[in-house]
Amino acid sequence: MIKLLKVLKDLGSITESEYQMLVDAAQAEAKAAPVSAVPALPPAASVAATTPSTPGAKDAQKAAGAKAESTAKPDPAFGDALKQSLKDKWYERFGVRGYAQLRYSRILDNEGADLFVPNDGSVSETSSFLIRRGRVILSGDATERLFVYAQADLNGSISTGDFVLSMRDYYADLAFDKDKEYRVRLGQSKVPFGWVNLQSSQNRAPVERPDALNNAVEGERDIGAFFYWAPKETRQIYRDLVRSGLKGSGDYGVAGVGAYSGQGLNRLDLNGEPHLVARFNYPWKLQNGQYIEAGVQGYHGKFVSPVSSINLNGTSLTPTRAADGVVDQRVGGSFIWYPQPFGVEAEWNIGRGPELNRSSGRIESELLHGGYVQIAYRIDKNHGDWYPFARWQYFDGGRKFASNAPHSRVHEFDIGLEWQPWTEFEVMVSYTHTFERTNTRVSPYNDSQDSNRLTFQAQFNF
């Protein structure tokens, strides 16, 4: 023990005074400890072991056991001294982790407009390798009630083609009780709308989230304040669903309500009217060990879509909209049957949102709807985890985050296989057939049709 403490001191993990305090505590404990923590049983106990009916034998055995238990208890002085010396060490409360995704996509064929996938810059005739995500996360308990989380992306731009450092998350959870069942989250974090939006890209099998849910909050995050509640036992289930490899979405409470800017990731509010959101979700563990999860969610606000000059109906113009934005509201439902070994994910949402009226050249609030269904099968063998999956997705409505909020229609089918030979590494290959996808990047916003592409991805986790 003394040698170990000296190593910690030499490495700078503890100071000289802390080292001496721990050494003194360890030596005092060693002097107070008996020669043998478990003394030999007295004859009565031995007799009781072979002759239970011997008078007084059982009492002698109990007394011997109690004596052994009392002498085996360590002196708490050393443990208290160790806790005291480490309580102010930030590295004992904070951890660093992350992951990165190296991706390569190939368009096999395409008809109509150029294929444009808003959240996947690797889908291009001129693109080759892409670091899609390069995440570094610092998180931990600053105090017993304050949890801090900061996540940076070393490739934060996929629309401009530039490799930039971007803030993904920067928030603090303030807990109102010791079990952290009631907490408030302040800062930039994920908006609690859509199970798949809350699921980390580190865990998701398909390369990107389905458009129907993701275009509600592109980038999944915004600046705001959220209140979350979940019983201690339910929070443990949320953690188990992620740690066990079942690809859970994480702990966003049984109930979550809040207000957020509404303009998206790393953007300021443009109308002074925050969006309001509420989500209710619950996971169950059935008697056979199967996990299922179901939830409902909704949000309401006004969104200020960006505008730019376009050629519309043979005329060059810049679309107009209300100065304070356009009504933006949705409701949705989620159902998850976790892969044990077969699994199903299904989500659907409907609402109204900003959309360019091609006749008037004005951005108005129009109907939208869409969702996805995904099936998967988890194979846990000696050669790692195999995760074959298939997903169908559909969306019909305006893409509010795109310049001029053009109408978008997405109809695609994915099939793929993820293989994780070790916890720290995984590879994935998928094939996507696009029945229809609107190119929302450039006017006149025509559709790609009957497109086929392959995507390969390698991911390392640390």
Residue 50: what pLDDT? 41
Domain end position, chosen among 35, 66, 86: 86
- For residue 156, the model assigns a pLDDT of 61
Task: Verify that 61 and 114 share a domain, yes or no.
Answer: no
Residue 145: name the closest of 170, 182, 92, 91 by CA. Answer: 182
Would you write out the chain's pLDDT as a tens digit for each of its 462 residues? 777 777 676 666 677 777 777 888 777 777 766 554 444 444 444 434 444 444 444 454 444 444 444 444 545 666 676 666 666 677 778 999 999 999 999 999 999 999 999 999 899 888 778 999 999 999 999 999 999 999 999 876 555 556 778 999 999 999 999 999 999 999 999 999 999 999 999 999 999 999 999 999 999 999 999 999 999 999 999 999 999 999 999 999 999 999 999 999 999 999 999 999 999 999 999 999 999 999 999 999 999 999 999 988 788 999 999 999 999 999 999 999 999 999 999 999 999 999 999 999 999 999 999 999 999 999 988 789 999 999 999 999 999 999 999 999 999 999 999 999 999 999 999 999 999 999 999 999 999 999 999 999 999 999
Claim to verify: residue 82 and residue 100 sit in the same structural domain: no
Do 104 and 59 lie in one domain? The reply is: no
Helices (H), 330-447: none
pLDDT at 313 (0 to 100): 79
Residue 69: φ, ψ to 5°: -65, -40
Q: Which residues of 203-217 are buried (b: 16+ CB within 10 A; e: fewer)?
A: bbbbbbbbbbbbbbb
- Contact status, residue 113 vs residue 440, Cβ threshold 8 Å: no
CA distance 253 to 251: 6
CA distance 31 to 73: 14
**Same-domain pairing of 76 and 175:** no
| Together in a domain, 6 and 107 | no
Give the integer Cα–Cα distance in Å for 311 and 320: 14
Predicted local confidence at residue 57, as pLDDT? 46
Angle in degrees, CA 123, 125, 130, rounded to 5: 45
> Would the CA dihedral through 56, 61, 66, 67 be positive or negative?
positive
**Both 31 and 104 in a single domain?**
no
The residue whose two tokens read 């009781």 is: 48
pTM score, two decimals?
Answer: 0.82
Please report, as a single letter, which amino acid is at residue 310.
I
C-alpha radius of gyration, the chain, whole number = 29
Q: Are 308 and 403 in contact, with CB atoms under 8 Å apart? A: yes
Please indicate, yes or no, whether residues 365 and 342 belong to a single structural domain of this protein.
yes
Q: What is the domain count for the chain?
A: 2
Q: Residue 388 belongs to what H/E stretch?
A: strand 384-398
Residues 72 and 128 in one domain: no
Q: Are residues 51 and 99 in the same domain?
A: no
DSSP string, 130-165: EEEEEEEEEEEESSSSEEEEEEEETT--SSS-----
C-alpha separations of 105 from 9, 129, 422, 429 in Å: 51, 8, 24, 10
Asked if 293 and 222 sit in the same domain, the reply is yes
Q: Do residues 447 and 303 both lie within one domain? A: yes
58 φ/ψ sector (left φ>0, alpha ψ -120 to 50, else beta): alpha
390 shares a domain with 321: yes
Among 51, 66, 86, give the residue marking a domain's end. Answer: 86
CATH code of the domain in which 145 resides: 2.40.160.10
**Residue-wise DSSP of 349-370:** EEEEEEEEETTTTEEEEEEEEE
The pLDDT assigned to 352 comes to: 98
Of the residues 41, 58, 86, which one is the last residue of a structural domain? 86
Which residues span the domain enclosing 24? 2-86
